[in-house]
Amino acid sequence: MITFEGAAKLYPDGTVAVDHLDMTVETGQTTVFVGPSGSGKTTSLRMINRMVEPTGGAVLIDGEDVRQRDPAVLRRSIGYVIQQAGLFPHRTVRDNIATVPLLLGWRRARARARAEELMELVGLEPSQARRYPHQLSGGQQQRVGVARALAADPPILLMDEPFSAVDPVVRASLQDELLRLQRELHKTIVFVTHDIDEAVRLGDRIAVFRPGGTLAQYDSPERLLAEPSDSFVESFVGYDRGVRRLSFFPASGLSPRQDVVFDEGTSAGAAADALGGEPWALVVTGDRMPLGWASATRLAGADTPLGALELVPYGHTFAVDTDSLRAALDAAVLSPAGRAVGVDADGRVVGVVSQDDLGTALWSVTE
């Protein structure tokens, strides 16, 4: 457990970076510090490992003031990941990861074995062990940075905007990896970001900092989105917070329609008769894999099999059992037919959800 007790940081020029911070970071959870530039979130994180010394109050780890511990010893017991990984350019991937264990006196063979184990854990190939940082992509470098931070199995992991320097696709992949690792490892993670979507996706708890280094709200992501404490928090989390909040409601509560789903061998005319006024038919293969949409206006009176028609792309799907209502809404909004295609874990079509169906479901869970 990490406790901030009136922690403050005042610089000699009078700048207040952190102003009397009181909060508790729970053991085994991911706590995200989020806020605009100059709000004190990074300073607060760095007070935990004494990279920044507080000028007031205290920061405690399991009840012990961090100032009672030697800074070097403290930092070796806490994992630390920063932007662009901060790797040693002259060391191989394996030796970068083994850095802290070697500093702690581990034998080289043991440290390297641990490095190779962690490479697998964070999704790096064994063949990359002998490469140097410049031979890796940005996303791979960040994976090395995470592995290095985990090398000595620290109970606490500090992450200072670790994914901000990579492109959105790689960033989403790294977020997925962190969520997977946390499910396995249950570390106490403090994660700094300026991106509220990243905070909502990763955090068990979110601390919103306002300019001047004060804590505006500290809550679960769902409560933060549902009940912002004031106009600053409401503005920061965004006026589309209602859509973000849908990430916390499962799509499994939906009832996808199957009466508008047709096998590719069905004749167009038969499908048109069965649609009963519905504007779109979803065409699937014999094993229920989606092929595309057929407009009802093109089907009436035709004997051509649906699979022989030029179909409208079905867009992207959502997993009925594992995705959220937000994923279903995104699929419906982006679909050319205005309908979301729900699939099972194998990608087979379960059914179709219209925007009207989603509107009813959204109202029932958010009212």
CB 162 within 8 A of CB 33: no
Whether residues 84 and 184 share a domain: the answer is yes
Instruction: Provide the number of structural domains found in the chain.
Output: 2
pLDDT computed for residue 301 by the predictor: 67
Give 303's pLDDT tier (boundaries 50, 70, 90): confident
Mean pLDDT of the chain: 88
**What does the alpha-carbon distance between residue 192 and residue 190 come to, in Å, rounded to a whole number?**
7
Residue where one domain finishes, among candidates 248, 271, 306: 248
Nearest-5° Cα angle at 25, 20 to 30: 130
Say if residue 316 is in the same domain as residue 218. no
One domain for residues 215 and 256: no
| Same-domain pairing of 53 and 66 | yes
Whether 76 and 150 map to the same domain: the answer is: yes
What whole-number distance in Å separates Cα of residue 207 and Cα of residue 239? 18
Instruction: Judge if 341 and 301 occupy the same domain.
Output: yes
Q: Phi, psi at residue 9, to the nearest 5°? A: -140, 115
The model's pLDDT over 262-299, given as tens digits with 9 standing for 90+, comes to: 999 998 888 888 888 889 999 999 999 999 999 888 88
Between CA 140 and CA 147, with CA 144 as vertex, the angle to 5 degrees is 135
* CATH number (domain holding residue 220): 3.40.50.300
- Shared-domain flag, residues 93 and 232: yes
List own/partner pairs for 62-70 with CB under 8 A and 24 or more apart: 62/1, 63/1, 63/3
Segment 30-80, tens digit of pLDDT? 999 999 988 999 999 999 999 999 999 999 999 999 999 999 889 988 998
Residue where one domain finishes, among candidates 220, 248, 276: 248
pTM of the complete model: 0.78
Q: Is the pLDDT of residue 227 over 90?
A: no
Q: Cα–Cα distances in Å, from 157 out to 105, 184, 197?
A: 21, 14, 21
Which of 225, 248, 271 represents a domain boundary (last residue)? 248
Do 282 and 255 meet the contact criterion of CB atoms below 8 Å apart? no
Are residues 136 and 271 located together in one domain of the fold?
A: no
Where would I find the beta strands (DSSP E) of 54-168? 56-61, 64-65, 78-81, 156-160
What is the reported pLDDT for 364? Answer: 63
Q: Domain check: are 69 and 130 in the same one?
A: yes
Place of tokens 């005042």: 10
Nearest CA-CA partner of 280 in 292, 288, 267: 292
- Coil/strand/helix, residue 132: coil
Identify the helix (H) or strand (E) that includes residue 117.
helix 108-121
- Considering the domain architecture, whether residues 21 and 159 belong to the same structural domain is answered as yes
d(CA 73, CA 52): 15
Look up residue 178 and give its two tokens: 């962190």
DSSP classification of residue 104: T
Closest CA to 158 of 336, 31, 321, 26: 31
267 and 119 in a single domain? The answer is no
CATH number of the domain to which 357 belongs: 3.10.580.10
Which has the closest alpha carbon to 173: 157, 184, 162?
A: 162
Looking at residue 81, what is its pLDDT?
Answer: 86
Question: What confidence score (pLDDT) does residue 367 get?
Answer: 53
Judge whether residue 205 has pLDDT over 60. yes
Identity of residue 257: R
Q: According to DSSP H, which parts of 122-240 are helical?
A: 138-150, 168-185, 196-202, 221-226, 231-237
- Do the beta carbons of residue 330 and residue 348 sit within 8 Å? no
User: Which residue in the block uniquely carries the two structure tokens 């063979």?
Assistant: 109
* Same domain assignment for residues 223 and 299: no
188: nearest Cα among 45, 56, 34, 6: 45
Q: Could you tell me the residue range of the domain that residue 325 belongs to? A: 251-366
- Amino acid identity for residue 353 in this structure: V
